[in-house]
Structure 1
Amino acid sequence: MFRKQLLIPAVAAVIFVGMSSVFIVDEREKALVLQFGQVKAVKEAPGLSFKLPFIQDVVTYDDRILSLPTQPMEVTPLDDRRLVVDAFARWRIVDVVKFREAVGTGGEARARGLLDQIINAEIFEVMGTVPSTTVLSDDRTPLMNRIRDQARLKSASIGVEIIDVRLTRTDLPKQNLASTFARMRAEREREATDEIARGGEAAQRVRATADRTVIELTSEAQKQAEVVRGEADATRNGIYAEAFGRDPEFFAFTRSLTAYERALQSGNSKIVMQPDSQFFEYMRNDQAPTGDTETVPIR
């Protein structure tokens, strides 16, 4: 009976010791076996593992991709226009030994603080090398990649890999909105004035070209009209000369009738002349005037 009483506690102690020496690594975790604070083994494969009971401890860390939102901060880009920026990072523990040495017993909370400092420092540095238009543009991928790459180099020393960094907000501080809008309005007005001036200059050139073209076309038309008029006058004079040469008396008669028609039609000014004037020669008789006096033409 006494032996049975001793056997039960012994079995219980063995079971307790056995259970203390066994631990399970989850597929979502990585584990470190520590002995008096020193790393003795790294367990990254999921499954059942063993340790020395009461002497060694097991610390687990998340093996998944973790998130890290940063606090809003004011940055000064290259053109000295202050902006409020916050970011979102994704990271993962890749070297648990370095991670343990860097964060100690602080674990993931301590790591978030270190990563926040690293990412904020890189945001300040990268933002200071570009103008605010680049930060506020729709395509900020190259900018975010620069921040990620530089932060990744520094985070490697603590056993962490920064997978991605995204700028979630880039706004102007409230106290700078009015002055920024005024400056933007002044810039747009200056651009509009320049465009109007260039448009006026172009319109003046077009107008001058059109005026010159009108003058050239008008001059050419007047020149051609004068040539046609001269040719017509020459043809008319030739016809007159030919008609006069064929029948001088009939030519003088028709010319006189034309002159009577134009001179005596209604609305013309009054004509005062002597009754025996040569102009009325055909009204006094039906013979042509004699002598060398020519009939007065009326055009």
Structure 2
Amino acid sequence: MRLTTLIIPALVVAAVGAMSSLFVVDEREKALVLQFGQIRDVKEEPGLSVKIPFIQEVVRYDDRILSLDTDTIEVTPSDDRRLVVDAFARYRIADVVKFRQAVGAGGVRLAEERLSSILNSKIREVLGADQVTSDTILSENRAELMVRIRNQSRSEALGLGLDVVDVRLKQTNLPSQNLNATFARMRAEREREAADEVARGNEAAQRVRALADRTVVETLSEAEREAQVVRGEADAERNGIFAEAFGADPEFFAFYRSLQAYENALQGSNSSMVMTPDSEFFDYLKSDQVSQ
């Protein structure tokens, strides 16, 4: 019984020690074996590994590509138009030994603070360089600027054991205090363009209206000329008929002209004429026979 009492605790301690000495490295991570804070071993391959229990500890780091959003900053390109810029980066822990030596127990949180500072510094440096204007940053050419930011950030981040895989500019906007002025300038420009278009439209309308008025005048003039010609021809034909009738029978022509005079003079239902009874106007009304 006394032997059994000693063996069981020993087996328990051995089992706990054996379990404490074994650890598994996942394929998505890297691990460091530390002894009293010093690096004793690096485990970069996945699988089962061994450490000294209670003396050594295992620190794990993610081996996947991680994401970091930078703080919003203001940059001033060469044309002095300030822009508000924020970016994001993709990075991974390339060297776990350098990473541990650089950040210590601060881990990923401290590393991202330092990496964010590096990124912001390089963004200001690249976007504020000569020959880089706000139009360049806002155009498709900014892809080249992002590559430059990534390369410069990568060379400095390697000292932290980090590899900067990619850097992207998410937003490049004007500061809020400049937006109203910019919108006002854009609005004035659009209003000027609209006024120019209206002026050109009015000018074209005036030309069309003047052409239409001239066409109307020319058409009316031509129609009036043709009407005068037709009227003159008709008058000439009528006068010819009258002349022929007068030549054939002057007395009948005089009688016909008197009837026309009566008709023109006595129009309407309330026509009155005052004249002497022996007026020549009534010669054909007074005569009961027509002279031969």
Is TM (by shorter chain) over 0.5?
yes
Tell me the distance in 1 between the aligned counterparts of 2:150 and 2:127. 17
Counterpart contact for 2:22–2:49, Cα < 8 Å: yes
Alignment counterpart, residue 162 of structure 1, candidates 160, 165, 175 = 165
CA 77–110 in structure 1, closer or farther in 2 if over 3 Å, else same? same
Query: What displacement does 1:230 show?
Result: 1.4
Residue 3 of structure 2 corresponds to: none
User: In the alignment, does 2:220 pair up with 1:218?
Assistant: no
Counterpart contact for 1:90–1:164, Cα < 8 Å: yes
Alignment length (residue pairs): 270
Counterpart contact for 2:127–2:137, Cα < 8 Å: no
Counterpart contact for 1:24–1:46, Cα < 8 Å: yes
Residue 31 of structure 1 corresponds to: 31
Residue 147 of structure 2 corresponds to: 149
Residue 294 of structure 1 corresponds to: none
Counterpart contact for 1:65–1:90, Cα < 8 Å: yes
Alignment counterpart, residue 260 of structure 1, candidates 259, 262, 273 = 262
Tell me the distance in 2 between the aligned counterparts of 1:88 and 1:241. 105
5+ long unaligned stretches in structure 1: 1-9, 291-299
Tell me the distance in 2 between the aligned counterparts of 1:153 and 1:134. 17
Tell me the distance in 1 between the aligned counterparts of 2:218 and 2:290. 49
Alignment of 1:14-53 (within 5 A): 23-32=23-32, 42-50=42-50
User: In the alignment, does 2:68 pair up with 1:68?
Assistant: yes
Counterpart contact for 2:103–2:111, Cα < 8 Å: no
Partner of 2:67: helix, strand, or coil?
A: strand
TM-score by length of 1: 0.64
Tell me the distance in 2 between the aligned counterparts of 1:163 and 1:58. 30
CA 238–257 in structure 1, closer or farther in 2 if over 3 Å, else same? same
Residue 123 of structure 2 corresponds to: 123
Tell me the distance in 2 between the aligned counterparts of 1:181 and 1:43. 57
Counterpart contact for 2:122–2:152, Cα < 8 Å: no
CA 26–251 in structure 1, closer or farther in 2 if over 3 Å, else same? same
Which residue identity does 2:175 align to in structure 1? L
User: In the alignment, does 2:167 pair up with 1:207?
Assistant: no
5+ long unaligned stretches in structure 2: 1-9
Counterpart contact for 2:85–2:169, Cα < 8 Å: no
Which residue identity does 1:72 align to in structure 2? T
RMSD over aligned CA atoms reads: 4.9
Counterpart contact for 2:83–2:172, Cα < 8 Å: no
Residue 184 of structure 1 corresponds to: 183
Which residue identity does 1:75 align to in structure 2? V
Tell me the distance in 1 between the aligned counterparts of 2:136 and 2:148. 22
CA 186–95 in structure 1, closer or farther in 2 if over 3 Å, else same? same
Deviation digits for residues 237-268 of structure 1 (CA, Å, limit 9, x no counterpart): 21441353144433443233223322444699
Counterpart contact for 2:22–2:51, Cα < 8 Å: yes
CA 212–282 in structure 1, closer or farther in 2 if over 3 Å, else same? farther
Tell me the distance in 1 between the aligned counterparts of 2:124 and 2:62. 29
Tell me the distance in 2 between the aligned counterparts of 1:64 and 1:15. 34
Partner of 2:80: helix, strand, or coil?
A: coil
